[in-house]
A and B are shown apart, each in its own frame.
Chain A
């Protein structure tokens, strides 16, 4: 992959993530049981980036997505929520993926991302409200998050196995990792 190809690919992923999250904001969530719960469709892009790009470039995708999504449809407080969620979930997903493809599949990675996103947001919420009882809401969100995470893991797996370019990028990444250690 040349440098330009990689830059274009990073920009493409970030743009897709922004569009997906804007689109998702427009869908009123039908679940009355868990207000505040979201599908987290943009997580597909983070999974994609984790599996096809180097860690450095994945961080670029994630931070571009965070900044652009805030500029296009957010406020300072939504920025804090999503920043905490995204940073925590990215760290978690990265660590979990380090277990290797023999041990963990995309389902586990994306479920981790979904739950840690919730945890990050609730920590910020409890910090803003100055009461940690907000965290008691966590089990409901995690339950929905796990279901959504599994669905998104399956989706990302389909994309990775059926889109030719993604498979190619994944192979490039794997050979790079073999050459440069990790």
Chain B
């Protein structure tokens, strides 16, 4: 055990620290972008489901009160069961081997994504950045 510690040299630590910092870079960039396009909470959120880069479904999440689920088939008996629960969405079950999409759980913030790589399925929450139209000031 002591020989393990002795074999560590200074540049090992430097390199590993640099690499850890690099691995946090995407998160930093992402939150910076998020902060810039500070979405106002009133903006409506849409879940966009794409498969093979084609949009196959758009679901309005704001003001959705229902809970329902549907199945997306992608050939060869591959299925993803998607559940919409009020204003959030998740992949409830999938027949893929790694289950990354299921483990992601519910998403509801703009910019969040669920990715199912084996079936090329992406669910992304987008916000319509149009200013809310319902502010009508009558005098």
Contacts and interface: CB of A to CB of B under 8 A. Distances in A.
B111 A108 contact: no
A27 B115 CA distance: 24
Q: Helix, strand, loop or mixed for chain A's interface?
A: helix
Nearest to B10: A103
Interface centre among B19, B113, B120 (most CB of A within 10 A): B19
A132 B111 CA distance: 11
A5 interface: no
A102 B11 CA distance: 9
A134 interface: yes
A135 B26 contact: yes
A136 B107 CA distance: 14
Contact of B53 (A104, A130, A135, A136): A130
A167 interface: no
Interface residues of A, number: 36
Contact of B27 (A32, A108, A129, A136): A136
A99 B11 contact: yes
B30 A107 contact: no
A125 interface: yes
Contact of A35 (B15, B20, B103): B103
Interface string B23-62: 1101100100000000000000000001001000000000
A82 to B, nearest CB: 14
Contacts, number: 92
A99 B16 CA distance: 14
Nearest to B1: A154
A139 B9 CA distance: 24
Given A131-B122, A132-B26, A146 B19 contact: yes
Contacts of A105: 7-9, 12
A35 B99 contact: yes
A68 interface: no
B98 A136 contact: no
A35 B100 contact: yes
A19 interface: no
A139 B24 contact: yes
Contact of A129 (B19, B26, B98, B115): B115
Contacts of A108: 9, 11-13, 15-16
Interface of B: 4, 7-13, 15-16, 19-20, 22-24, 26-27, 30, 50, 53, 98-100, 103, 111-113, 115, 117, 120, 122, 124
